[in-house]
Amino acid sequence: MPELPEVETTRRGIAPHVEGREIVEVVVRQSRLRLPVPDDLVERLVGARIGALSRRAKYLLVPVQAGEAAASLLWHLGMSGSLRIARLGELPKKHDHVDLVLDDGAILRYHDPRRFGFVDWLQGDAAHDPRLARLGPEPLSEAFDGARLHALSRGRRLAVKPFLMDNAVVVGVGNIYAAEALFLAGIDPRRAAGRISLARYERLAAAVREVLAAAITQGGTTLRDFVGGTGEPGYFAQRLNVYGRDGAPCRRCGAELRLVTLGQRASVFCAACQR
């Protein structure tokens, strides 16, 4: 599933090609996504101009200006979705469901084999949309730190890994990056969130920022179908310390990595390095 670094990589990849461009045509080949494509999307978008793209958690926000009305497209890539830049004359592939054709001949093309993603229309300030309003802070922002994790975890018996993956605590720290951050911080993912000290949470917050920043630099992690906005895969998978490596030796100490299930998600860790 595309996580925060994959969505941020997509934003950075497509932004130079779409920002400031006018939409001259919209092609919807498949409207039955996780949410149906709005019936009036073509009418709303043709003639609109795209503003500066942004990201909130795993959502991509594409602001559009049509006359006096300001609105946004809210895009979610689901489990297998990707947005990439194509050119006029480039034939769509199977599972290429939505095209935004721009005034310079570029096409913003949405591909989603599983159709668990969606594109929705938001009128007015996107921050007030219920899907965004209840989210926690961005992990690379100043609003996220060890003190927040420590304060929100008091009295919680929940294991620290699912606690860290709670979008009300901090957004966009999915299974891959939670596992990697806990390894860097030396914290056992099974440990109760409420029994971790402030000092250890400060190390964990720093590890989250380090892992996510590195993943964005590497273009995300290629798992199954993901590619970035230019069609290139991400390379962070080559740097994974624990995720997907159960039974392999720990890169730090050589001990065999263990696999457990936490919050219905597989979690790999090193019992020697993570306490």
Is 2 among the catalytic positions? yes
Q: Among candidates 154, 145, 227, which has minimal Cα distance to 195? A: 154
Task: Choose the catalytic residue: 190, 245, 251, 265.
Answer: 265
Catalytically annotated residue among 3, 6, 8, 180: 3
CA angle (214 as vertex; 236, 200 as ends), nearest 5: 115
CA distances from 240 to 16, 21, 76, 243, 248 (A): 29, 38, 25, 6, 12
What is the SS3 assignment for 171?
Answer: coil
Which residue has tokens 């990201």?
Answer: 55
d(CA 177, CA 233): 17
Q: In the beta sheet, which residues pair with residue 96?
A: 111
76, 85 contact by CB (below 8 A): no
Backbone angles phi, psi at 70, to 5 degrees: -100, 135
114 annotated as belonging to a binding site for a ligand = yes
Q: Is 17 annotated as a binding residue?
A: no
Q: What is d(CA 269, CA 98) in angstroms, rounded to the nearest whole number?
A: 40
* Rounded distance between C-alpha atoms, residue 46 and residue 148, angstroms: 44
At 14 the three-state DSSP class reads helix
Q: CA 166, CA 139: separation in Å to the nearest integer?
A: 12
Catalytic residue among 44, 58, 109, 161: 58
- The residue with tokens 């310390």 is 241
- Concerning whether 265 is annotated as a catalytic residue, the answer is yes
Annotated binding site: 95, 114, 156
- Catalytic residue numbers, as ranges: 2-3, 58, 265
Annotated binding site for DNA: 95, 114, 156
